Chain A
């Protein structure tokens, strides 16, 4: 009898255990977030607290940023990631690379996310510069800096400097010196950017990063296509078109390409091709 009582009591408690666990875990979700995504400890302090596990701490900081970025894909609001969140991501990746400046992934991930959407060009370049100094065998990092200087900061001189640096490193693609030389000419911005991006995609092998880059490449190809059409229009009619529709009505092109970011292409006041999505 006693044993029966003990067993049935245990069964009830086990069921209650599962129930309470479920309720408590559910309630936990409604608590204010306990992970503070706004502050990252300064790296000298992190270095001290990580003891001999600097490398591991660096890996986990990187994973934290990666997992955070991944979690934002569930969000409905636009922009998907807020400005201060990009700043937090930058600080985290920067701390990760302070703990282990040779670790390639934070640079790679940071360059793919902080520049285009995050608009943290100069900061990203500073971080990449650190990586380029430590990983002196790796041509990718100066190549990234070169691209950022050329595309975002419109500093062709610096861009070509970094590309030359990249071309001196082992296994760099043979077109780098040519590209560096091309940058010396003004103009042809979109065309050069397409060449750049195609090169980056060749060296990108994980699917999600590749997709982000391919989306941009397609957008840029659209812009390049329209830019060439505008030039052709100007040649034929001796005046620039006012609207993109004119290119179609006057039979210069058959259709206007779609912006993969969901915006619409238009001709800006200065005559350049822009899109309402701002490529974000």
Chain B
């Protein structure tokens, strides 16, 4: 543990000093500003659209954070060979991975907290302009949705560590992570579609159905963490759902990090 914490702190500092974080923040602020504009075009459910915009912005900015800062934190070490410096010290490779991962988790937590404050402000601003159009609004659901997004991003960054442990360049890690994100977000919809293709009038071969069903169990089901619709309409999410999704996220993240450590331990550096 004593070796892990310094690595986590240095990783966090490295991430927060990255210039890209300013770009992401400005982009997020612009989108949250757009919230006011778009909400003003809605006739009835202004609150729903304001929450939609705020939560989607937080999600998307978090995704950019994982993809363009998170991946660099570990993959750049490998790219630029600075990893030799770290590995020559008395820490195991497992500690190194774990330290990096905790640093990244910390970065996600801090950045998303800041983003949530701004998202909250944008909702408050819309709410003050159109106070009568927030009939089913609840702050606790908004907070829950952001927490779920945070969990999803931590899971995704764990997977990016897994890819970095065997990929030869950071670019490959980036591509693999993006693909995993897209598959993870859509796999349950795709599965539903290929299992009942007659709804849209297409034909699907039995092989495709099998492939999708197998993929469903391999790739993470990221859409489980998406409760933006429920949050936007103030619909109830049962405690048991929260429990099972959190457990699922935790277990999948652990698997990804342990696999990453195993592969990384066997990796040989030229």
If the complex has contacts A45-B200, A51-B185, A56-B56, are A108 and B43 also in contact, measured as CB distance less than 8 A? Answer: yes
Chain A residues within an 8 Å CB radius of B186: 48-49, 51
Could you tell me which residues of chain B, from 155 to 204, have a CB within 8 Å of some CB in chain A?
Answer: 181-182, 185-186, 189-190, 192-193, 199-200
Q: Is B65 an interface residue (CB 8 A)?
A: no
Question: CB distance B193 to A44 under 8 Å?
Answer: yes
* Interface residues as binary, A70-110 with B (CB distance below 8 Å gives 1, 0 otherwise): 00000000000000000000000000000010111100110
Give bound CA distance, A52 to B231, whole Å: 13
- Tier of interface size on chain B: 20 to 34
Question: CB distance B229 to A51 under 8 Å?
Answer: no
Question: CB distance A48 to B52 under 8 Å?
Answer: no
Chain A residues within an 8 Å CB radius of B181: 51
Give bound CA distance, A59 to B232, whole Å: 12
Chain B residues within an 8 Å CB radius of A109: 43
Q: Is B10 an interface residue (CB 8 A)?
A: no
Question: CB distance A47 to B52 under 8 Å?
Answer: no
Could you tell me which residues of chain B, from 223 to 238, have a CB within 8 Å of some CB in chain A?
Answer: 223, 226, 228-229, 232-233, 235
Question: In terms of DSSP, what is the predominant structure of the interface of chain B?
Answer: helix
Question: CB distance B43 to A55 under 8 Å?
Answer: no
Question: CB distance B42 to A42 under 8 Å?
Answer: no
- Which chain A residue has the least Cβ–Cβ distance from B63? A52
Question: CB distance B44 to A54 under 8 Å?
Answer: no
Question: CB distance A102 to B190 under 8 Å?
Answer: no
Question: CB distance A48 to B56 under 8 Å?
Answer: no
Give bound CA distance, A53 to B51, whole Å: 12
Question: CB distance B43 to A44 under 8 Å?
Answer: no
Question: CB distance B200 to A59 under 8 Å?
Answer: no
Chain A residues within an 8 Å CB radius of B41: 63, 66
Give bound CA distance, A111 to B223, whole Å: 32
Chain A residues within an 8 Å CB radius of B43: 66, 105, 108-109, 206, 209
Could you tell me which residues of chain B, from 41 to 75, have a CB within 8 Å of some CB in chain A?
Answer: 41-45, 48-49, 52-53, 55-56, 59-60
Chain B residues within an 8 Å CB radius of A56: 52-53, 56
Q: Is B91 an interface residue (CB 8 A)?
A: no
If the complex has contacts A53-B56, A56-B52, A102-B229, are A48 and B190 also in contact, measured as CB distance less than 8 A? Answer: yes
Question: CB distance B228 to A52 under 8 Å?
Answer: yes
CB distance from B44 to the nearest CB of A (A): 5
Q: Is B123 an interface residue (CB 8 A)?
A: no
Give bound CA distance, A59 to B49, whole Å: 7
Partner of B45, one of A53, A104, A209: A104
Q: Is B251 an interface residue (CB 8 A)?
A: no
- Which chain B residue has the least Cβ–Cβ distance from A55? B52
Give bound CA distance, A137 to B123, whole Å: 24
Give bound CA distance, A105 to B47, whole Å: 11
Chain A residues within an 8 Å CB radius of B223: 52
If the complex has contacts A48-B186, A108-B43, A109-B43, are A54 and B229 also in contact, measured as CB distance less than 8 A? Answer: yes
Q: List 24 A-B contacts (CB under 8 A).
A: A42-B200, A44-B193, A44-B200, A45-B200, A47-B189, A52-B56, A52-B226, A53-B59, A54-B228, A55-B48, A55-B232, A56-B52, A56-B56, A59-B38, A59-B49, A59-B52, A59-B53, A63-B41, A66-B41, A102-B233, A103-B45, A103-B48, A104-B48, A105-B42
